[in-house]
Chains A and B, each alone.
Chain A
């Protein structure tokens, strides 16, 4: 039952996305939109078939016995929380700097997933930061968001990217 509802919801979302994309393509010259419109048509038809199969129960049968024990999420609280923490991490990473934000995120996320060996956690976090620094900072010299305590005095370009390495 839950599988059916989820399928119908995702099917509806896919159909809406198809419409949305179709509308974006409508102003283009014929040969530029021919191929994407063909694909969108196939996709819309397939999605409708999927939804019909979902209503008749065919799509559940296709997955075999494991569908009996299907849950959308093993632990909905942790799924939403995990995604929210990751989103929060992405929001602060440019302000706090990569290493500070990552260390914070790893510790908070692990604690959130009920991991309680603090010493192992701190050691792993430290090792992770050193590894990333060695590979990205030293070897490849890739730009990463700068730490807040470093960049406090430096001007930044309008894009919000810190320019002075």
Chain B
């Protein structure tokens, strides 16, 4: 309540400076439990992911993690809290790319890409286009041809809202191929998938992990994956790039500290996360929960974060999604 959202940015800068001066004695880190801010409700996707990996990080870190749910404004409340917390290594948080930065174009957020010290990426779930198995569209090419011949006639449902990664991916496809589709935001994956299976929407864009089981059963056909290379969980599905459409998009989940946290502390947590993600027991758990793991170390994750943010800047400049 008392959080000075408007002051967020200057506060972050101030805290950064304070963090530098008061660098704690690192030899003993961590010497008390570490809070982990989850910006979503208990039981949500991020929450379950957080609670699944928590014991494994604890095992390799030798310290307790305490999960705090701080939901609100699609995660913005929790992300802001993380950005504004002390960079002393005792407040960690889950961040979701690109969703968390997409908000800042339509409303003022109390954080920016510079507010965070990235620790590690955990999950990367690429986007897909899928159709029901009896659809007339066999390949991505068929779809784009249709979109060129009948501009705006074909509805594509997305699991997000306006400004979601799927929506931006559709815009990118349109810009690349000069086709035009009709974006229909369903707001959640479950109703979208039912509508796709029931034939109420001809094409749907959502995340790969939520489609593989249905594709394996033969209920739906995945036209393409928006990753750089083919996904391990769907090796037969070609990427967009292979089909001549240069679109790479997906949603990711990772850990970050507030900016200004000493590099040594970041390295300690990143090391524990890396070990946790190699733990066979954890890999098995994540696999059964359908979470595609993709570890990135602090440097690589930082680069990924910057790239995501610049890509969003560019997309917004070309075609703002909220007018």
In the complex, A touching B (Cβ < 8 A) = yes
State the Cβ distance, A165 to closest chain B Cβ, in Å: 6
The residue that A158 contacts in the complex, of B32, B33, B84, B323, with Cβ under 8 A, is B84
Interface centre among A143, A155, A163, A164 (most CB of B within 10 A): A163
The residue that B323 contacts in the complex, of A29, A157, A165, with Cβ under 8 A, is A29
> Are A163 and B35 in contact, with the CB atoms below 8 A?
yes
**B107 on interface, CB distance cutoff 8 Å:** no
State the Cβ distance, B73 to closest chain A Cβ, in Å: 14
**A158 touching B11 in the complex, CB below 8 Å, given contacts A163-B35, A163-B68:** yes
**A138 on interface, CB distance cutoff 8 Å:** no
**A160 touching B68 in the complex, CB below 8 Å, given contacts A29-B323, A155-B86, A165-B33:** no
**A164 touching B323 in the complex, CB below 8 Å, given contacts A158-B2, A158-B4:** no
Q: Within 8 Å CB of B85, what residues of A?
A: 157-158, 163
Q: Within 8 Å CB of A157, what residues of B?
A: 81, 84-86, 91
One digit per residue, 1 when the CB lies within 8 angstroms of any chain B CB and 0 when it does not, for chain A 124-165 equals 000000000000000000010000000000010111100111
Q: Within 8 Å CB of A159, what residues of B?
A: 1-3, 81, 84
**Residue on B nearest A165 in the bound complex, by CB:** B66
Q: Within 8 Å CB of A158, what residues of B?
A: 2-4, 11, 81, 84-85
Interface residues on A, range: 10 to 19
**A164 touching B32 in the complex, CB below 8 Å, given contacts A157-B81, A157-B85, A159-B1:** yes
**CA of A29 to CA of B68, assembled, Å:** 37
Q: Within 8 Å CB of B81, what residues of A?
A: 157-159
Q: Within 8 Å CB of B90, what residues of A?
A: 163-164
**CA of A55 to CA of B11, assembled, Å:** 56
Q: Within 8 Å CB of A143, what residues of B?
A: 68
Classify the interface of chain A: helix, strand, loop or mixed.
loop
**CA of A14 to CA of B207, assembled, Å:** 44
One digit per residue, 1 when the CB lies within 8 angstroms of any chain B CB and 0 when it does not, for chain A 38-61 equals 000000000000000000000000
State the Cβ distance, A158 to closest chain B Cβ, in Å: 5
Q: Within 8 Å CB of B32, what residues of A?
A: 164
**A160 touching B91 in the complex, CB below 8 Å, given contacts A143-B68, A165-B66:** no
**Residue on A nearest B2 in the bound complex, by CB:** A160
**CA of A160 to CA of B237, assembled, Å:** 50
**CA of A112 to CA of B32, assembled, Å:** 44
Q: B residues bordering A, Cβ < 8 Å? A: 1-4, 11, 32-33, 35, 66, 68, 81, 84-86, 90-91, 323
List the 6 closest pairs (A to B, CB-CB), nearest first.
Answer: A159-B3, A160-B2, A157-B85, A163-B35, A158-B84, A165-B66
Q: A residues bordering B, Cβ < 8 Å? A: 29, 143, 155, 157-160, 163-165
19 further A-B pairs in the complex, CB-CB below 8 A; given A158-B11, A159-B1: A143-B68, A157-B81, A157-B84, A157-B86, A157-B91, A158-B2, A158-B3, A158-B4, A158-B81, A158-B84, A159-B3, A159-B81, A159-B84, A160-B1, A160-B2, A163-B90, A164-B32, A164-B90, A165-B33
Complex A-B: 19 CB contacts under 8 Å: A143-B68, A157-B81, A157-B85, A157-B86, A158-B2, A158-B3, A158-B81, A158-B84, A159-B1, A159-B3, A159-B84, A160-B1, A163-B35, A163-B85, A163-B90, A164-B33, A164-B35, A164-B66, A165-B33
